[in-house]
Each structure stands twice: as structure tokens, then as C-alpha cells.
Amino acid sequence: GIQVEQSPPDLILQEGANSTLRCNFSDSVNNLQWFHQNPWGQLINLFYIPSGTKQNGRLSATTVATERYSLLYISSSQTTDSGVYFCAVSAMYSGGGADGLTFGKGTHLIIQP
């Protein structure tokens, strides 16, 4: 099946700093989503971005499908940005397989005041 690798696994920053999270995937995708899992475990949708660039406030994301990677940018970090960020993909050619999202292991982000 498709492989998803996220980096870095852990990131500690001061409030106000900027960060870039990376997601590499091993095959063509027809779905790529970024999620933020808050301390209560809720997965919050950040972006649906199988290709292209999107921005939402302090967050933006870019997926370069031909090179099989996606980047999530967080600017002017706040303590409420802390949590785990997941990249998840659905393979374009699943061979009749599962049809769900395959998740990376996540980036654990801690923003210190």
C-alpha cells in the first residue's frame, strides 16, 4: 500500500515563530488532507489539498503531486497551535483495495509561551 512519511516527528517552538511540516508519499494520490488533532483527540480538518496551494489565515499548504510531497506552513505560531498534525492520503490506484485514508505518524508540535 501507499506509504506516508511526515517530518519532523517533533517540533518545539516559541510563540510567534514560523514552521514548516512536510509530508512525503510514495504513490499518486486522489485525496490529501491535513489534520490537527487537538488535546481532546478531535481531528480537525485543515486542508483538502491533493494538489496546488491553499491558505487559511495563518496556515497555508502546498502539494506538489508530481514530486509526491506536501508542505504545511504555520506562521506566527500561537500556543493553541500545539498538538499533532497529520497528513493523510488516498492512493489514486488502490487496485480495488481499501479506499480509506492512509495516515502518517504525525508531527507533534509544541508552542511555548
Is residue 29 packed enough to be buried (19+ CB in 10 Å), middle (13-18) or exposed (0-12)?
buried
**Does residue 33 belong to the site contacting another protein (CB under 8 A)?**
yes
Q: Which of 26, 27, 6, 23 is nearest to 61 (CA)?
A: 23
> Does the footprint of another protein cover residue 83 (CB under 8 A)?
no
Rule CB under 8 A: say whether 11 interacts with another protein.
no
By the rule CB under 8 A, 55 interacts with another protein:
no
**Does 107 participate in binding another protein (rule CB under 8 A)?**
no
How far apart are the C-alpha atoms of 111 and 105, rounded to whole Å?
A: 19
34 binds another protein (CB under 8 A): no
Q: Which is nearer to another protein, 17 or 50 (CB)?
A: 50
Written as nine digits, the cell of 47 is 486542508
Contact window for another protein (CB under 8 A) among 18-26, 53-61, 69-77, 97-105: 97-105
CA count, 13 A, side-chain hemisphere, 42 = 5
* Nearer to another protein among residue 14 and residue 99 (C-beta): 99
The footprint of another protein (CB under 8 A) covers 30-31, 33, 35, 40-43, 45, 48, 50, 86, 88, 90, 96-103, 105-106
